[in-house]
Amino acid sequence: MSADNVVKLVHITKAFSEGRHNRLVLNTLSCEFTKGEFVVLLGKSGSGKSTLLNLISGIEEPTDGQIFVENVELTRLSQREKTLFRRDHIGFVFQFFNLIPTLTVMENITLPQELAGQNGRSVTNSAAGLLEQVGLADRHETFPDKLSGGEQQRGAIARALAHDPMLVLADEPTGNLDEDTGERVLNMLLDLTKNRGKTLIMATHNPDIAHLADRVYRVQDGKLTDITAELHYKQIGVPSSELVQV
């Protein structure tokens, strides 16, 4: 695995058992994502985008194949080892925020570090700095139910970055927000990840996000297809019929 690769997938297959039948969601995918990339996984609901993110994070296990994150083979780790690795090395931003309602914004952000045995002034100062960067410096004692949807997602982004992960996974992070709020949240997420050398992999069904990405993959029929060039040529007005097939 190259030193620049943060994620490497080798012949990943994922099938789910549904009664007496198996449903093949992902079929022998192989791909590498490098340091500092913003990658978009584009596909319809049910195409396997979220499943792929869950596999990369170790939340789910592949039916077959190998997954490497920062040169660690996740598929060889125990469930506890995967949980600890995910806690220390991966940030996750969900569509529905997933902030703990009984904790303040500050407590939500510092929780991952406290679970890792870190506490004290440095943790609080780091969290306060993140809150300032996401525009929530004056809401640190507020509970999530008092925040707007956009504010909750900004808090969720701060929580995902609290332990300074190299890899950030985002599953439809703007899908529960209106267009203007979603755009602001997306720009903030990009500023705090891609522009700081982190790898951001985002699953979305929204093609408008794709033009911001370094690479775009279509997730369809169990396959992962690089459509970056296709989208680029469409942007500059070249019809797909004129693209050279390689």
pTM: 0.88
What is the percent of the chain where pLDDT is above 70? 92
Domain holding 199, by residue range, is 5-242
Give pLDDT, residue 234: 64
Model pLDDT for residues 199-228, shown as the tens digit of each residue:
999 999 888 888 889 999 999 999 999 988
> Per-residue pLDDT averaged across 107-133, rounded?
81
User: Is the per-residue pLDDT at 39 higher than 90?
Assistant: yes
Coil, strand or helix at 82: helix
Top pLDDT among 240 and 210 is at 210
- Half-sphere exposure of residue 67: CA atoms within 13 angstroms, side-chain side: 22
- The pLDDT confidence band at residue 122, using thresholds 50, 70 and 90, is confident
> Per-residue pLDDT averaged across 166-195, rounded?
87
CATH code where residue 62 lies: 3.40.50.300
Model pLDDT for residues 59-85, shown as the tens digit of each residue:
999 999 999 999 999 999 999 999 989
List the one residue out of 60, 112, 53 whose CA is nearest residue 88: 112
Per-residue DSSP letter, 183: H
Q: Cα–Cα distance between 218 and 227 in angstroms, integer?
A: 7
Total tally of structural domains belonging to the chain:
1
Whether 171 and 95 have beta carbons less than 8 Å apart is answered as yes
Give pLDDT, residue 237: 55
User: Is the per-residue pLDDT at 41 higher than 90?
Assistant: yes
